Structure 1
Amino acid sequence: MAVFAASACASPSASPSPEIGGPAASSSASPGFTDPGLPLETPPDMTGKPGKPVEVTVTGQVTAGVEPGCRLISDGRTSYLLLGGDENVAKIGAQVTVTGTVGEGMMTTCQQGTPLQVTSVKAS
């Protein structure tokens, strides 16, 4: 078994450098790291709590996603990933009107489009 030891290169007369929570820290500092320039509380819009679900209706052509089984529809500004709904109606190439709830932050394997949990779909 090998044992290694590290020693400081500074001379014994050198003054110690300040460390977090060390002698150079403020006497009012609490244990751990705090940055007086950051807010102490999380802003209300950054709490991670889900907001009110947003319902949208989109009319357009269903297109294939880059991953197998993924279906998309666009309103010209946003591309939505269709989750659920009758796949016989909302098939690739079909002109449809889809209503659903936007799933912001929802994880999918399709890697594109804003997830839209479909509540109704009809041919248009």
Structure 2
Amino acid sequence: LILSVASTINTNTATKRYLQVCFVPNYNVSLAETLIPGADMSQHISCAGTEASGTSNMKCAMNGCLLLASRDGANVEIAEAIGESNIFFFGYTPEQVAMARDEARRTASERSMASDANPAE
């Protein structure tokens, strides 16, 4: 997926002057020590309410990166510390995720009950 996204962005005449996307295979702590201080922007995507840690977010923020992030755990706390103008949020809040999951379960249950009540002849 990231290679397709990179291809689209990196060849788009409107964006390629401003943004390049690359995938770093075998990413590890040693590479992070080199890359994080030189990053201009960093994305941190998780389903709201599921992120366990935010150390890479914090390192990027401390190095002046703009953060593109879901509204989750450390991202919310970092925004409080560095200001909302330095982080760009997208996606659902943890509460909205829970509501969407509940709705999906309800819909699936209703479909199941409807198919049980009207078996194919």
TM-score (norm 2): 0.24
More strand by percentage: 1
Q: Using CA pairs under 8 Å that are at least 6 residues apart, name the structure with larger relative contact order, 1 or 2.
A: 1
More helix by percentage: 2
Structure number, greater radius of gyration: 1
